[in-house]
Chains A and B, each alone.
Chain A
Amino acid sequence: MSQFSRLVRIARTDFSYFFRTKWLMAVLISLSLSDMLVVGLVYTRLIPASTAIGSSYFQFLVPGIVVVGLFSAATDTGRRIWLALREGVIQYYLTLPIRTRGLVGAYIISGGLGGIVYSGALLIIAYLSLILFKAPIPIQGILYALILIPFLFVLSTGIAGLAAFFASVSRRGEMYWVYAQALQVSMVTISTVFYPAQTIAQYLPAPIATIAEYNPLSLAAGVLRNSAFGGNALETSALASLLATSLPLATIGALAYWIILRTIRLKGKP
Chain B
Amino acid sequence: MFAVETLNLAKRYGKTDALRGLNFTVNEGEIMVILGPNGSGKTTLLMILCTILKPTSGTAKVVGIDVVEEGTKVREVMGIAFQEARGFWRHKPSSILRFHASMFDIDPAKRQDLIERTMKDLELWESRDKMFMHLSGGQAKRLETAKVLIQQPKLAIFDEPTSQVDLRGKRKIWDKIRELRDQGSTIIVATNEVREAEYLADRVTILHEGNRVVCDTIPKLKDAIAGGDIVEVDFEDPVPEKLVQDLNGLGGEVSLLPESNQLRAKVSKAEDWVPRMTSASYVAGAKIASIRITEPSLDDVFLHFTGKALADQP
Contact = CB atoms under 8 A, between A and B. Distances in A.
Interface in A232-270: 264-268
Interface stretch (A83-91, A110-118, A174-182): A83-91
B67 to A, nearest CB: 11
Contacts of A264: 52
B44 A97 contact: no
Nearest to A2: B105
Given A1-B105, A13-B99, A268-B13, A95 B44 contact: no
B2 interface: no
B131 to A, nearest CB: 9
A9 B103 contact: yes
B87 A92 contact: yes
A95 B75 contact: yes
A95 B50 contact: yes
A56 B47 CA distance: 61
Contact of A97 (B75, B84, B90): B75
A16 to B, nearest CB: 8
Contact of B103 (A88, A97, A266): A97
By secondary structure, the A interface counts as helix
A20 B90 CA distance: 7
Interface string B89-103: 110000000010011
A62 B105 CA distance: 46
Nearest 6 Cβ contacts at the A-B interface? A88-B86, A97-B76, A97-B75, A20-B90, A92-B86, A94-B52
Given A13-B88, A88-B86, A267-B13, A95 B99 contact: no
Contact of B104 (A20, A87, A97, A267): A97
B183 interface: no
B49 to A, nearest CB: 10
A89 B88 contact: yes
A125 interface: no
Nearest to B105: A1
